[in-house]
Amino acid sequence: MNGLKMDTYVLELKNISKYFPGVKALEEVGFNLKKGEIHALVGENGAGKSTLIKIITGVLQPDEGEIFFHGEKIVFSDPTVAQKNLIAAIYQNPTCFPHLSVTENIFMGHPIVEPRTRRLLWNEMNAEAMRLLKTLGSELNPGSKMGDLSVAQQQMVEIAKALSLDARILIMDEPTAALTSRETEELYEITRTLRKKGTSVVFISHRFEDIYQIADRVTVLRDGKSVGTWNVSEISEGELIKAMVGREISQLFPKSEVPIGDEVLRVEGLSRVGYFADISFSLHEGEILGFSGLVGSGRSEVAQAIFGIHPYDGGKIFVRGKEVPIDSPWKAMEMGIGYLPEDRQLQGLVLPLTITDNITLSTLDRYARKGWLKSRAGHDISQKLFSLLKIKASSIFDKTYSLSGGNQQKVVVGKLLAGELRILIMDEPTKGVDVGAKSAIHKIMSDLAANGFALIMISSEMPEILGMSDSIVVMREGRITRTFSREEANQEKLLTAAVEVGR
């Protein structure tokens, strides 16, 4: 028992270093966690946050340094050791089992069993899963298949799983990235409750909102080193940004005013059975049209229908006044429509390929004569975009999996730009992207609009929507509920339209 060591930290990491071939992922990082505190861990992508977490959970082992658990030295040789010591983690991309039920996802690894025969007790587990989900305010059926759930719902299950472990240390890696504001509020509430019960929480986020709402202390990592730890009440947003990026970023949302030009895209009564219905809007040159609404309200589905990924079964699409039937992405791109997908790793990039291969992927036929590749032409274009977008990599021949999230996103944007497409649909363009890259992407979008491009931006982040859009469409359950101009929109109005209170 640790009765004598009352003042020690629950968890203390000292001088942790971790090397990967050729890279120092962490260098003499120190980190500590008090009982019953919410400790935010921030830093740009690639700063080493994920590595640090993997070390705490035992997925990775440090090359140097020591870990103290309740004041005693401990070695987390594999994930089970951490689990036994009641350390649980909720990862950035929900690490779920898509083919299995919610109950199984919650209890995999620590099932409720009949003590003597070790038979799984399904009824007990289902009941417990139901109870846990209820405490989270979710009415998910524990028998549902995980793969059928939305990302936000999966996140809920992940949290329920952490609760079921009754963890003393809970690590949340960007838990709010996929959540809507209302869900985020719920998550804050749950986190505070946990704190009250004495659980220590490590909270990773890119959103300053999260940090200032719930965190007690904040540790900043930069380039694998810890910059420092502060009480949240003692550090301003500006100072925090400065600590993270090592420089000051003046403005996050630089959408410049440009004259709105001709109509380039008009959608009339678009519908797809089971997903959305009666969608109508129009888009003009130089305009950024924001699409707001809860996750699952059908925003992405509309975008993908316009891009030809999934067919629509009713309505019309007009490009520059001419009706065009769009049945494939190929056709959409022929019409000058481009789509930046929400999930850049799954939908946007072919990770094992190089930057140039990815940038030229959708326009391959242009760098070829009668099918034979002329690589030079492609390289030239890539090189140009590489410099233009300020992608951080040694060359255009780097593999995209080795890039940070923000730079990966820039490559996807580059692919879009290479296509010389004039109508761009961007689905969550800054999701999971660090502050620096986020501002860069916003700058690019603004420049594009200034050059007469027409943009649709789907985003779950209110400040982003409000800051960037010329006009805003709000969707709820597959239908457009309201359309706002830039001037009349505010956070409250958007939210009201998204949830439509009093339906």
Partner 1 sequence: MNDSNHVSSVDFLKNLRGFRELGLVVFIVSISLLIGARNPRFLTWGNLHDMLLDTSILSILAIGMMLVLVTGGIDLSAESGIALTGMIVGLTLIRYPQIPAVLTLFMGMALGAGFGAITGAIVAGGRVIPIIATLGMMYVYRGLTFIVSGGRWVNAYEMPDDFKAMATGRLLGFSNLILIAIVVYIVFTYFINHTETGRQIFAVGSNREAARIIGIRTNRIIWLVYTLSGALYGLAGVMWIARYASAQSDSASGYVFTIVAACVLGGVAITGGVGSISGILLGSITIGIINNALPMIRVSPFWRTALTGAIILIAVIVNIAITRNIERKALLQRKI
Partner 2 sequence: MESTKTSIIPGGLSLREVFLRWEWLLVGLIVGVSIVNGRLSPHFWDYAGLMDAMAVFLEKGFIVLPVAMILISGEIDISVSSIVALSSVLMALSFQAGLPMVLAICVAVAVGTACGAFNGFLITRIPGLSSVIVTLAANSLFRGIAYIVLGDRAVGGFPRWYSYLSWGYLGSSSIPFIILAFGIVAVFFGLVLHKTTFGRKVYAIGNNQVAARFSGIPVSRIKLILFTLAGVMSGLAAVFLTSKLGSSRPNVALGYELEVIAIAVLGGVSPAGGKGGIPGAILALILMRLLRYGLGLINVPGQVMLVVIGIILVLVVMLPNLIGSVRISRKRFG
Binding site for partner 1 (CB under 8 A): 57, 59, 78-80, 83, 89, 91, 95-100, 104, 108-109, 111, 113, 118-120, 122, 137-141, 143-145, 148-150, 153, 182-183, 186, 273-277, 294, 296, 298, 477-479, 499
Three-state SS at 42: strand
Neighbours of 373 (CB within 10 A): 13
Q: Which is nearer to partner 1, 20 or 97 (CB)?
A: 97
Give DSSP secondary structure letters for 334-403. HTTEEEE-S-IIIII--TTSBHHHHHTGGGGGGGEETTEE-HHHHHHHHHHHHHHTT--SS-TTSBGGGS
| Radius of gyration of the CA atoms of the chain, in A | 24
Which of partner 2, partner 1, none binds 273 (CB below 5-8 Å, type-dependent)?
Answer: partner 1
Answer for which of 357, 461, 464, 470 binds partner 2 (CB under 8 A) is 357
The nearest distance, CB 353 to partner 2, in angstroms, is 6
The nearest distance, CB 395 to partner 2, in angstroms, is 9
The nearest distance, CB 150 to partner 1, in angstroms, is 7
Q: Which is nearer to partner 2, 50 or 382 (CB)?
A: 50
Give DSSP secondary structure letters for 433-495. --HHHHHHHHHHHHHHHHTT-EEEEE-S-HHHHHHH-SEEEEEETTEEEEEEETTT--HHHHH
Q: Is 286 near partner 2 (CB under 8 A)?
A: no
3-class SS letters over 71-99: CEEECCCCHHHHHHCCEEEECCCCCCCCC
- Evaluate whether 338 touches 419 at the Cβ level (below 8 Å): yes
Q: Which is nearer to partner 2, 398 or 470 (CB)?
A: 398
- What residues contact 217, with CB distance under 8 A and at least 6 apart? 34, 37, 38, 39, 40, 229, 230, 231, 232
Answer for which of 10, 51, 125, 424 binds partner 2 (CB under 8 A) is 51
Closest CA to 306 of 294, 180, 289, 295: 289
Total number of residues shown for the chain: 503
Q: Is 405 near partner 2 (CB under 8 A)?
A: yes
The nearest distance, CB 336 to partner 2, in angstroms, is 12
The residue type of 479 is: R
Stretch that binds partner 2, among 65-73, 159-167, 347-355, 464-472 (CB under 8 A): 347-355
Alpha carbons 405 and 292: distance in angstroms, whole number: 23
Three-state SS at 175: coil
Q: Which is nearer to partner 2, 194 or 393 (CB)?
A: 393
Three-state SS at 416: helix
Q: Is 438 near partner 2 (CB under 8 A)?
A: no
Q: Is 459 near partner 2 (CB under 8 A)?
A: no
Q: Is 397 near partner 2 (CB under 8 A)?
A: yes
Q: Is 328 near partner 2 (CB under 8 A)?
A: yes
Q: Is 192 near partner 2 (CB under 8 A)?
A: no
Q: Which is nearer to partner 2, 2 or 375 (CB)?
A: 375
Stretch that binds partner 2, among 151-159, 398-406, 463-471, 478-486 (CB under 8 A): 398-406
Q: Which is nearer to partner 2, 50 or 469 (CB)?
A: 50
Which of partner 2, partner 1, none binds 333 (CB below 5-8 Å, type-dependent)?
Answer: partner 2
Q: Within positions 373 to 392, which residues make up the interface with partner 2, using CB under 8 A? A: 373
Answer for which of 104, 285, 287, 398 binds partner 2 (CB under 8 A) is 398
- Evaluate whether 61 touches 237 at the Cβ level (below 8 Å): no
Q: Is 71 exposed, middle or buried (0-12, 13-18, 19+ CB in 10 A)?
A: middle
Q: Is 208 near partner 2 (CB under 8 A)?
A: no
Alpha carbons 353 and 348: distance in angstroms, whole number: 12
Alpha carbons 392 and 38: distance in angstroms, whole number: 33
The nearest distance, CB 391 to partner 1, in angstroms, is 27
- The contact set with partner 2 (CB under 8 A) reads 20-23, 25, 45-47, 49-51, 54, 63, 92-93, 307, 309, 328-330, 332-333, 339, 341, 345-354, 357, 361-362, 364-365, 367-368, 371-373, 394, 397-399, 401-405, 408, 415, 419, 432
